[in-house]
Amino acid sequence: MSDLVTFGETMLRLSPPHGERLERTRTLDVQAGGAESNVAVAAARLGVDAVWLSKLPDSSLGRRVVSELRSHGVRTGIVWDDPAESRIGTYYLEPGTEPRGTDVIYDRADAAVTTTVPEELPLGAIRNSDVFYTSGITPALSETLAATTERVLAAAQDGESTTTVFDLNYRSKLWSPAEAREEFESLFPAIDVLVAAERDVRSVLEREGDAPELARGLADDFGFETVVVTRGENGSVALNEGQVFEQDVYRAETVDAIGTGDAFVGGFLAKRLHGGGVGEALEYGSAAASLKRTINGDLAVISPEEVDAVVEHEAGGISR
Ligand code: KDG
């Protein structure tokens, strides 16, 4: 039995030292990065019993990812693949800084995780979890994974008290908006809590209106228990049982924005799992996200005390 189970790909993230360009650098920093493990790390660091499920080559690179995630308190359930026949995904990241955008280059085709079938996963553990989380990246990675995502979400729904949480996480380098929309809408009936960036709701799901209207439209059409719309610098909005909650962002000096959304979700889920209401969870997730922005790497290396301090002392409070 665990509080949170997540499932998805984690890659090796390779990035040049601050201010250097991928084109010229001689040094690449290596870290684990992937939306679902990022959420697990943020939640684990905030006191949640979190398990991350995936498939990796049984090589030093696969083991490296696992030991990094475990060092943050995440438990792992890994399908180990023959290293002669499989690989780990990598992504190269040159963080953007005004006026230059972030450069991301994926090298992840045919990674071990893309062959994961439901029979390889601990469906019982998924059914017994309080929350099962995956994101829109997972079904985008292969047809096999799209089918597996559907099956594991169905297994989670079979759990007596498992809440399924899905972040759209649309990635334009993986598929087109039309492909993503079709897949997302087929998964929605199995999802209790939808998290989505406002821009993805507009451009991928082709919805219109202000953030509360977007959330209401999705909840009405697909029966979500909760919809959280994240709005970048404009904060976030959640709709739960007909009630709208709004949250501003907390100030942060940004060192690395990658993983901000995952830290938000990790914080949101931690607060919910610890008995907090939706408004408090938005506040806590938002504070976790602001702390993440100050940290290099995908992972939110944060503590509950730091998140509480942001909530208590920083401007950007809640407007309910
Ligand atoms: O949310 C952070 C992720 O975007 C990053 O870890 C890389 O998983 C990744 C992806 O597919 O974009």
Q: Say how far apart CA 96 and CA 257 lie, in whole Å.
A: 9
Of 6, 65, 135, 137, best ligand 1 pocket probe by most atoms within 8 Å of the beta carbon? 137
Q: Which residues fall within 8 angstroms of residue 15, CB to CB, at 6 or more apart? A: 28, 29, 31, 92, 93, 94, 95
Q: Say how far apart CA 57 and CA 38 lie, in whole Å.
A: 20
Q: Are strands 243-247 and 103-107 parallel, antiparallel or unpaired?
A: unpaired
For position 189, which CATH number holds?
3.40.1190.20
Q: Which ligand 1 atom is at minimum distance from the Cα of 298?
A: 6
Nearest-CA residue for atom 10 of ligand 1:
34
Nearest-CA residue for atom 7 of ligand 1:
34
- Is 107 catalytic? The answer is no
Total number of domains in the chain: 1
pLDDT in tens, the chain (320 residues): 579 999 999 999 999 998 999 999 999 999 999 999 999 999 999 999 999 999 999 999 999 999 999 999 999 999 999 999 999 999 999 988 889 999 999 999 999 999 999 999 999 999 999 999 999 999 999 999 999 999 999 999 998 899 999 999 999 999 999 999 999 999 999 999 999 999 999 999 999 999 999 999 999 999 999 999 999 999 999 999 999 999 999 999 999 999 999 999 999 999 999 999 999 999 999 999 999 999 999 999 999 999 999 999 875 554 43
Nearest-CA residue for atom 5 of ligand 1:
34
Domain holding 52, by residue range, is: 4-319
**Centroid of ligand 1 to alpha carbon of 275 (angstroms):** 28
Q: Are strands 50-57 and 4-7 parallel, antiparallel or unpaired?
A: parallel
Q: What are 98's two structure tokens?
A: 């005004």
Cβ(258) – ligand 1 distance below 6 Å: yes
